[in-house]
Amino acid sequence: MKCSVIYGDIFARHDLRIHKESSSRLRNVLSGVPSGLTWRSPVQASIRDLERVHRPEHVRWIRQLAHGTYYLDSNTYLTSHSFDVSCYAAGSAIAAVERTLQGEHCFALVRPPGHHAEPDRAMGFCIFNNAAVAAARALESVDRVAILDWDLHHGNGTQSAFYDSDRVLYCSVHESNSFPGTGWIDEIGSREGRGYTLNAPLHPGATIADYLLVFEEVFVPAIRRFEPDVLIISAGQDSLSDDPTGSMNLSPADFQVLAGIMVDATDLPLALILEGGYGPSHGQAISHIFSALQGGRISPEAPPARRSTLEIVAFLKNVCFY
């Protein structure tokens, strides 16, 4: 299956050098992209695209504020370039999904990240919700979209966008008791969407064995039963053991394992959208993800999954829509 990358220098223009989420991240990310891939240019989202997820007043507010350096909260900033860059991040996520509908894996290496952005609020380094905007656009032409979020932090914004919907299956594995304080095991969706949100808040120190148990026993069966037309990965690699933002214990090669599982879960190409990842081995993890997309498979070596993870899996099996 073909594999492509969406990237452009535009993503370096949303920048505050003293901030953890700065353009310097891109050097590490790009170091992991192998040769021989198809590179595609960024695409800008329209206001209509953004407003499928975000309230019009939120979009207007961000546009009006983005004329200089401004902090939206204690950790989310704007510069004079941020509105345009954020539109390109969301639009490139849409383009990645469109490439998968054409039969190729596509990784949108975008920033700022998006999965914390709620319909009416920017937060957690995120301005617009790239994955949610892409999913909402896809739902205009397909019936069902699955989103798997393996970022260290819970994607509260993505969950919020589709919490009442049975057309989007949202699966998140994340570190418990971490920012933003959401993603508890009993957050399973509401109304028609009950059972279509699956949260696995793993205890700090989780290894690939814990992740594998969640994927193989809960997420993969749910996705197969859901039969999505599109499969989106919110790909944040901040659960690496050397990442300064968390306390998980994954290695770069573990992301090859996770990506390979998702490639093999269905016959769908993956649309991956970059989220977090701030540690020195992030580029290596990106390289391993591309290896999985190109057919490489490895078997992990790890101690057995912990009892706490077994309990999470047992609970989720009882509440999932299937």
Least Cα distance to 183 among 210, 211, 151, 215 occurs for 151
DSSP string covering 144-184:
-EEEEE-SSS--HHHHHHHTT-SSEEEEEEEETT-TTS---
Q: Confidence band (pLDDT; 50, 70, 90) for 52?
A: very high
DSSP string covering 302-322:
-PPPPHHHHHHHHHHHHHS--
Strand order in the sheet with 168-175: 38-40, 2-6, 104-108, 270-274, 230-235, 145-149, 168-175, 197-202
Cβ neighbours, 10 Å, residue 54: 29
Residue 221 pLDDT: 96
pLDDT digits (tens, 9 = 90+) for 73-85: 989 999 999 999 9
One-letter amino acid at 297 equals R
Radius of gyration for the chain, computed over Cα atoms and rounded to the nearest angstrom: 18
- pTM of the entire predicted model: 0.96
Domain enclosing residue 52, as ranges: 2-319
pLDDT digits (tens, 9 = 90+) for 84-114: 999 999 999 999 999 999 999 999 999 999 9
pLDDT digits (tens, 9 = 90+) for 224-233: 999 999 999 9
Residue 114 pLDDT: 97
Residue listed under structure tokens 């594999």: 3
pLDDT digits (tens, 9 = 90+) for 250-263: 999 999 999 999 99
Answer yes or no: are the C-beta atoms of 6 and 92 closer than 8 Å.
yes
d(CA 7, CA 190): 36
pLDDT at 322 over 70: no
pLDDT at 29 over 80: yes
Residue 18 pLDDT: 84
73 DSSP β-pair partners:
76
Active-site annotation, residues? 116
pLDDT at 235 over 90: yes
CATH of the domain at 281: 3.40.800.20
Q: In b/e form, how buried is each residue of 253-285, taking b as 16+ CB within 10 angstroms?
A: bbbbbbbbbbbebbebbbbbbbbbbbbebbbbb
Task: State the sign of the Cα–Cα–Cα–Cα dihedral 206, 231, 170, 243.
Answer: positive
Instruction: Look at the chain and report how many structural domains it folds into.
Output: 1
Provide CB contacts within 8 A for 74, sequence distance 6+.
none
DSSP string covering 23-87:
TTHHHHHHHTPPTTPEEE---PPPHHHHHTTS-HHHHHHHHHHTTS-EEEETTEEE-TTHHHHHH
d(CA 71, CA 65): 10
Q: Confidence band (pLDDT; 50, 70, 90) for 300?
A: confident
Residue 301 pLDDT: 80
d(CA 63, CA 78): 10
